[in-house]
């Protein structure tokens, strides 16, 4: 690339913002996205969630239910900058969408509800953004609602997220009287003229009754923001003030480093506060080359300190490298969404999938606008685009130039906690259903598909009842498969509570060479959660080294069927201590069979228990129903963690076994005359009480 074209590429890169909009369910993410698209000229009318007419909620299920299910990518322009936005779901069942979106974004807007403040899903998404070091700004939304309180919502940022929250605005008015904001950077007011489309606003003086609060907040802003830049601090000490450009530079620096998190406010539904939010995206969130990039993946099965892994920076000049973060199978074929980190890719190029070693030819490339598409001939570092027709690329795979086959950092996916059985209503539809489910599980890595060995049923595992309900609905609508669905089942696990050493000898003689293998294995609880750990302590060749992998394979294969009720066994360590072999009769198969039998015998004596998923539940209810709600949660084996008040509303936090939460929404609505709501998300696995374990074992019969 010539110097001139390289300068042009870098200049174009500085005008790109790849951002996500994320929050708790119903905090206003999709509504805010609609306003952004309207004010940036992408849409000529504003779609509303309650009308089922939004741009990013384009699936039939999203429009009917008024929720976001799949993250949608849209592109818009603001003040000469290209903003690529991903609107992510708030419902915990679709947390996979937030996870993979945050992995490939350079910045994020976190929307916090002005009445409730930080809610559980806000916390979960915040921790995900921490994992990927995503710079973010906070927008306190819905300040027009009854009970909205900026200060209370702001205080929850510090209490629940443990961050340095830095207000850049203060609200003028509250609830029905919310008119605009005080801009603490420019020290002026921004007042919106009416609430219809809110495109018109004017700048003015700060209201007299807010001057003292504004001066105090401005001082906090200066003290916090200038502390990240020595030159700016010097300018302040010399002149007693700093230029707006200097202050903005410091806010951007602190936002990217995470020293503090800027806070803005408004009401997206009433069209107030969106334009300054877009200015903040332009001014404070980073361009693709202003963040560190993405780490390369550690070698498989190697323990490596992530801080020492090399980083692939966003570089328009380097060899092509991109991360496939989402796959959609639609009527036009398979669309693979790719975030480009390095280089340029043109239509017709061939790339290497460095995750699985296959080559892929790039057919057509699209820039996506929700479910609409615009074909382009090439993509560059910093872009997000969709490739058509990739055959062997899955979510989390790396695509790279064969001349520099880098493997980018992989994604981590949540563990499914709920199962259903699905069977086609006619035998002829079996193949059709299998193909459809394979496509759906390729799209969504939090969806698992397996066949129950005992019953032959097809078992679908997901993140919650709503998640699986949507999948079954998509099977019917998109693939024409009517399925008989079994009642939701909890995805139980088994584990052990004490160490035990077992010796097992496998002998079989049937004329000619026989089978012989003996293993002595210690089974013990493991501190490595969600892992099975193997240690080999064979000395002196008691078991030849070529047979050791067969022992590992046998135990792991058998662990899918536990010894109490046939559930998968997790969180244990097994150590091969000793064994015997025969020169003629021993083989890898013999040692694998011996290991499986040793597992079946040994695990029974190692204190096996059944584990159940325990959910973190948050119930929002009017104060006069608190007693009923708490009593009901206690009856469901729930443990109340805490309870807080927000005006006339109470918020109850509890941990409740998933088994007890099936059908809870109907019960809650009837107990509170439809005035309460709840959210829940997976928290941890825990041993079930003995009486419950006996019921589960009896039911598995």
Q: Is the confidence at residue 67, as pLDDT, over 50?
A: no
**What is the CA angle 182-47-262, rounded to 5?**
30
Q: What is the pLDDT of residue 584?
A: 86
pLDDT above 90 (res 608): yes
Q: Is 664 among the domain residues?
A: yes
Q: What is the pLDDT of residues 492-545, one digit of tens each?
A: 999 999 999 999 999 987 666 788 999 999 999 987 777 889 999 988 889 999
21-55 pLDDT, tens per residue? 887 666 676 778 778 877 777 654 444 443 443 33
Tell me the whole-structure pTM to 2 decimals. Answer: 0.68
Q: How many CB atoms lie within 10 A of CB 95?
A: 24
The C-alpha atoms of residue 191 and residue 148 are separated, in whole angstroms, by 19
* Binding-site entries: 23-30, 87-91, 141-144
In the listed set 459, 476, 491, which residue is the last one of a domain according to the structure? 491
pLDDT at residue number 71: 43
Give the end of a domain, one of 586, 606, 626. Answer: 606
Question: Which residue segment(s) compose the domain that 683 sits in?
Answer: 611-700
Verify that 45 and 168 share a domain, yes or no.
yes
Does residue 443 share a domain with residue 373?
no
Percent of the chain residues past pLDDT 90, beyond the cut: 36
List the single range of 81-85, 364-368, 514-518, 565-569 with lowest mean pLDDT: 364-368
pLDDT at 69 over 60: no
> Is pLDDT of 351 > 90?
yes
Residue 371 pLDDT more than 80? no
* pLDDT for residue 182 is more than 90: yes
Q: Are 602 and 626 part of one and the same domain?
A: no
Domain annotation covers residue 5 = no
Instruction: Count Cβ atoms below 10 Å from residue 371 Cβ, excluding itself.
Output: 12
Average pLDDT of the residues in 170-193 = 92
Give the pLDDT confidence of 402-421 residue by residue, as tens digits: 999 898 887 767 667 777 78
| 676 lies in some domain | yes
CB contact at 8 A, 640 and 633: yes
**Do both 649 and 544 map to the same domain?**
no
Binding residues for GTP, by number, are 23-30, 87-91, 141-144
Query: CA dihedral in degrees (617, 618, 624, 630; nearest 10)?
Result: 20
Measuring CA to CA, how many Å separate 628 from each of 237, 634, 668, 683? Answer: 59, 10, 9, 24
Partners of residue 611 on adjacent β-strands: 493, 687
Are residues 112 and 252 located together in one domain of the fold?
A: yes
My answer on whether 236 and 271 are in the same domain is yes
- Say if residues 675 and 628 touch (Cβ distance below 8 Å): no
Q: For 185-227, write each residue's pLDDT tens digit.
A: 999 999 988 655 656 889 999 999 999 999 999 999 999 999 9
Query: Domain for residue 380, yes or no?
Result: yes
CA end-to-end span of the chain: 69
List the one residue out of 101, 99, 96, 95 whose CA is nearest residue 74.
101
Q: Is 539 within the bounds of a domain?
A: yes
Give the residue-averaged pLDDT of 685-689: 92
Q: Are residues 593 and 626 in the same domain?
A: no
CATH number at residue 469: 3.30.70.870
Same domain for 539 and 639?
no
Neighbours of 142 (CB within 10 A): 25
Same domain, 480 and 381: no
- Residue 601: CATH number of its domain: 3.30.230.10
Q: What is the mean pLDDT of the chain?
A: 83
pLDDT confidence of residue 197: 62
Q: Rounded to whole angstroms, how far apart are CA atoms 553 and 557? A: 6
Tell me how many domains the chain contains: 5
How large is the angle between the packed helices 29-39 and 274-284, nearest 10 degrees?
Answer: 80
- The average pLDDT across 63-70 equals 39
Q: Could you say which DSSP state residue 427 is in? A: G
Residue 414, pLDDT score: 66
Domain at 325, CATH number: 2.40.30.10
Position 267 in a domain: yes
In three-state secondary structure terms, 524 is strand
Can you tell me the distance from the alpha carbon of 347 to that of 265, in angstroms, rounded to the nearest whole number? Answer: 43
In a domain, 61, yes or no: yes
Helix residue spans in 148-210 (DSSP H): 150-161
Q: What is the dihedral of CA 594, 596, 597, 601, to 10 degrees?
A: 130
| Strand-pair partners of 483 | 424
Residue 640 has pLDDT above 90, yes or no: yes
Identify the pLDDT of residue 61.
40
- The percent of the chain in helix, strand and coil, each rounded to the nearest 5, is 35, 30, 35
Residues 394, 511 within the same domain: no
Q: Do 316 and 280 share a structural domain?
A: no
Asked which of 458, 491, 524 is the last residue of a domain, the reply is 491
What is the average pLDDT across 235-241? 86
> Is the Cβ–Cβ distance between 641 and 670 less than 8 Å?
no
**Most distant CA pair in the chain: distance in Å?**
101
Tens-digit pLDDT profile for residues 118-128: 876 677 778 77
Examine residue 406 and state whether it is found in any structural domain, yes or no. no
Rg, Å, the chain Cα set: 28
**Does residue 429 sit in the same domain as residue 508?**
no
């Amino acid at each position: 690339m010539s110097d001139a074209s390289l300068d042009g590429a870098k200049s174009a890169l500085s005008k790109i913002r790849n951002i996500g909009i994320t929050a708790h369910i119903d905090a206003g993410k999709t509504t805010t996205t609609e306003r952004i698209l309207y004010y940036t000229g992408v849409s000529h009318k504003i779609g509303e969630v309650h009308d089922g007419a939004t741009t990013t909620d384009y699936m039939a299920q999203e429009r009917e239910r008024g929720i976001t299910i799949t993250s949608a990518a849209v592109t818009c322009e603001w003040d000469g900058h290209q903003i690529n936005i991903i609107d992510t779901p708030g419902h915990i069942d679709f947390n996979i969408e937030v996870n993979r979106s945050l992995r490939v974004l350079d910045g994020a807007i976190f929307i916090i509800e002005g009445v409730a403040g930080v809610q559980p899903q806000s916390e979960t998404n915040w921790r995900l953004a921490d994992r990927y070091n995503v710079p973010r700004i906070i927008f306190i939304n819905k300040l027009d609602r009854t009970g909205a309180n900026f200060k209370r919502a702001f205080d929850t940022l510090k209490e629940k997220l443990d961050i340095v929250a830095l207000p850049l605005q203060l609200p003028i008015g509250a609830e029905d009287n919310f008119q605009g904001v005080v801009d603490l950077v420019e020290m002026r007011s921004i007042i919106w003229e009416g609430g219809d489309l809110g495109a018109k606003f004017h700048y003015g003086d700060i209201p007299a009754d807010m001057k003292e609060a504004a001066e105090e907040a401005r001082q906090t802003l200066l003290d916090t923001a200038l502390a990240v830049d020595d030159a700016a601090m010097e300018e302040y000490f010399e002149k007693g003030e700093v230029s707006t450009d200097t202050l903005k530079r410091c806010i951007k620096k602190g936002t990217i480093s995470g020293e503090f998190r800027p806070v803005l406010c408004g009401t997206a539904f009433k069209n107030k506060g969106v334009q300054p939010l877009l200015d903040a995206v332009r001014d404070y969130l980073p361009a693709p080359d202003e963040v560190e990039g993405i780490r390369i993946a550690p070698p498989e099965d190697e323990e490596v300190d992530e801080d020492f892994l090399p980083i692939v920076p966003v570089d328009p000049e380097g060899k092509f490298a991109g991360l496939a973060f989402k796959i959609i199978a639609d009527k036009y074929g398979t669309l693979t969404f790719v975030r480009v980190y390095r280089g340029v890719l043109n239509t017709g190029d061939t790339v290497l999938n460095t995750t699985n070693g296959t080559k892929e030819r790039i057919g057509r490339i699209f820039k996506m606008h929700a479910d609409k598409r615009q074909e382009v001939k090439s993509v560059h570092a910093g872009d997000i685009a969709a490739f058509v027709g990739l055959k062997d690329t899955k979510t989390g795979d790396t695509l790279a130039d064969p001349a520099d086959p880098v493997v980018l950092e992989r994604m981590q996916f949540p563990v499914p906690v709920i199962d259903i059985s699905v069977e086609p209503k006619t035998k002829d539809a079996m193949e059709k259903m299998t193909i459809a489910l394979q496509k759906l599980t390729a799209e969504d890595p939090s969806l698992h598909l397996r066949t129950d060995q005992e019953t032959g049923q097809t078992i679908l595992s997901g993140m919650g009842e709503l998640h699986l309900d949507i999948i079954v609905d998509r099977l019917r609508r998109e693939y024409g498969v009517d399925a008989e669905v079994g009642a939701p089942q909890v995805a139980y696990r088994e584990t052990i509570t004490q160490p035990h050493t077992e010796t097992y000898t496998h002998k079989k003689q049937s004329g000619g060479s026989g089978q012989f293998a003996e293993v002595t294995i210690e089974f013990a609880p493991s501190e490595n959660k969600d892992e099975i750990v193997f240690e080999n302590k064979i000395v002196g060749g008691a078991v030849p080294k070529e047979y050791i992998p067969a022992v590992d394979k046998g135990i792991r294969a058998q662990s899918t069927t536990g010894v109490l009720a046939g559930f998968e066994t997790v969180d244990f360590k097994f150590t091969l201590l000793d064994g015997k072999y025969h020169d003629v009769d021993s083989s890898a198969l013999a040692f694998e069979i011996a290991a499986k039998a040793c597992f079946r015998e040994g695990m029974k004596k190692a204190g096996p228990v059944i584990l159940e998923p325990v959910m973190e539940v948050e119930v929002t209810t009017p104060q006069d129903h608190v007693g009923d709600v708490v009593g009901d949660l206690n009856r469901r084996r729930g443990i109340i963690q805490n309870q807080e008040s927000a005006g006339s509303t109470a918020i109850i936090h509890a941990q409740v076994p998933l088994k007890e939460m099936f059908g809870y929404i109907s019960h809650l609505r009837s107990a509170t005359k439809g005035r309460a709501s709840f959210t829940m998300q997976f928290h941890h696995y825990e041993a079930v009480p003995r009486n419950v374990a006996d019921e589960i074992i009896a039911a598995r019969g």
